[in-house]
Structure 1
Amino acid sequence: MFSLWVAFVIGIVEGLTEFLPVSSTGHMILAGNMLGFTGDKAETFEVVIQLGAILAVAVIYWRRVLRLFGMRDEAARAKPRRINLLHIALAIVPALGLAFVFRDWIKMLFMPETVVIGLVAGGIFMIVGEKQQPKITATDMDELTYRQSLFIGIAQCLSLWPGFSRSGATIAGGMLAGASRAAAADFTFLIAIPVMCAATGYELLKSYGTMTPDDIGFLAVGFVVSFVVALLAVVTFIKLVGKLKLTYFSYYRFALAAVVLLYMYTVGFPG
């Protein structure tokens, strides 16, 4: 069993990076390799604790989630209802389908070398989304069309490569589809809830036979830490992502990729 402090550290990393387009998975893989935390159980852990951070979004968006199921308050009834479950389905089914089919192949990519590629490729895609954005037709998440939702869903498939970033791919994809940065960011955080619930549930089912009581405690620590840290950071980060240009995050990704490459070829990861 790995030390609980490893779960604590990686839980903090996840909570701080989940809501920024810098790839929380990539950061967890890099942190895990530096701590000697690798292997099948580490990969399962990295998927499961993301749900802890995503639940922080559910806390923020709980009214929006309820409205998707027809439960609307008086203020909501006064506004046109645009976003519905079909928008959500179009945005999540492509990535979930590919993840289901190629799960084992995707998990083979959970290594620093592929993360570096994802950081750079994702950064380039984000710059393209920022620079090539067409005329904005959706300034608010409720103005997104089914076509735009599907385009975001297709873009989300790129995030199956570790380091690419789910939020980076979907925000840039939304901008390329004609959504404002803020609308794309809001929708990105909303669809993260069903995506990570499905991914976590499936991962636990696939890994159930290899789990031990000690592993459950380890997962619980990471889950709780990522939830608490994310809950403290989510409001600030959601506003930050909605306002800052994606190019700023791309520069950070390029710098991180360079640092990781330098570390790999000088110090090297344990094992």
Structure 2
Amino acid sequence: MDVLWEIVVAIILGIVEGLTEFAPVSSTGHMIIVDDLLLKSEELFNPAVANTFKVVIQLGSILAVVILFWDRFMNLLGLKKDINGKKIVGPKLSLVQVIIGLLPAAILGFLFEDYIDSKLFGIETVVYALIAGAILMIIADFTQKRKKPTVETVDQITNKQAFLIGLFQCIALWPGFSRSGSTISGGVLLGLSHRAAADFTFIMAVPIMAGASFLSLLKNWEYITTDALPFFIAGFIAAFIFALISIKFFLQLINRIKLVPFAIYRIVVAVIIIIVFF
């Protein structure tokens, strides 16, 4: 019965991770509500195992992005000429632009990793981040209402825009702010369409998240034991499947519904956390 419950917990957490990692709603905030309040995986397992599990399921979400953007990544690496069977006419997103976008958050994350882990992962700071991120998203949407986007597709992004979006990504080092929330908002404020900003966000997320996840796994490799393996595998598969569904749905909707509905949802999540934990 205990093993079965462990698998159920793993699947639930994998679903939460998959649905929220790349939507601008904060996967951290949802993990606090679902795991810390309801499932309490750190009581079910060794806390180090529970934390390692959260890294493993994040890799499931990353794999979903790689598959959905496979042609794009192959094109960036020079291994494929077209995207989804269509040749790009005119400018196209380059690997250099992705690296430019990655550098600010990668450098700051490396320099301040210990501070972030020790000082910013509290429930109170996550609530502030949820609300602050919601405000940024609302500002981005209202700004674009007054000025139409000048960049309709990810291939039209300039080096300057890539760097500035990378600076916005630095805000996501604040747990609860949301990587996609900060970068999509930043992109929209810089003149990108919501879809172009979302595409660039997901492409940038893969190397930086994969790098951080693999480093974390190396530090905690000892906790991936035979006994814990079914727990990890179940969560990884659930995160992968639901990330595929979530990202496809999100990309189809983002240009239509924009960011305000997600901002309102973030505020609701923040209120729930405040009611329950304070």
TM-score by length of 1: 0.89
* Selected match of 2:20 from 6, 17, 20: 17
CA distance in 1, matches of 2:153, 2:195: 7
The correspondence of residues 100-115 of structure 1 with structure 2, limited to 5 A, is: 100-108=110-118, 109-115=120-126
| 2:181 paired residue number | 168
Q: Which residue of 2 aligns with 1:125?
A: 136
Q: CA RMSD in A?
A: 2.1
Pick from 92, 98, 110 the counterpart of residue 88 of structure 1. Answer: 98
What pairs up with 1:1-271 in 2 under 5 angstroms?
3-34=6-37, 35-38=39-42, 39-73=47-81, 76-77=86-87, 79-108=89-118, 109-133=120-144, 136-265=149-278
Q: Deviations over 1:155-181 (max 9, x none)?
A: 111111111011000000111111111
Task: Note closer, same or farther for the CA distance 1:116–1:78 as it changes in structure 2 (3 Å cut).
Answer: closer
Q: What is the aligned length?
A: 265
Q: Which moved more, 1:80-89 or 1:39-48?
A: 39-48
- Per-residue deviation, residues 124-183 of structure 1 (Å, max 9, x unmatched): 111122223455221111000011111111111111111101100000011111111111
Could you give the per-residue CA deviations for residues 49-108 of structure 1, whole angstroms, max 9, x where no partner exists?
122112112111111111001123465545224211111111112112222222222223
Unaligned runs of at least 5 residues, structure 1: 266-271
> Residue 213 of structure 1 aligns to a residue in which SS?
coil
> Cα–Cα, structure 1 residues 264 and 247, in superposed 2: closer, same or farther, change >3 Å?
same
Q: Could you tell me how far apart the structure 2 residues matched to 1:96 and 1:78 are?
A: 29
In the TM superposition, residue 113 of structure 1 has moved relative to its aligned partner by 2.3
Cα pair 1:123 1:250 within 8 Å, conserved:
yes
- Aligned-partner Cα distance in 2 for 1:135–1:232: 29
The letter for the 2-side match of 1:56 is: A
Question: Structure 1 stretch 66-75 or stretch 123-132: which is displaced more?
Answer: 66-75
Aligned partner letter, 1:236: F
C-alpha distance in 2 between matches for 1:47 and 1:23: 15
In 2, distance between residues paired with 1:83 and 1:138? Answer: 12
Give the SS at the match of 2:220: helix
What is the identity percentage for the equivalent residue pairs of Structure 1 and Structure 2? 43
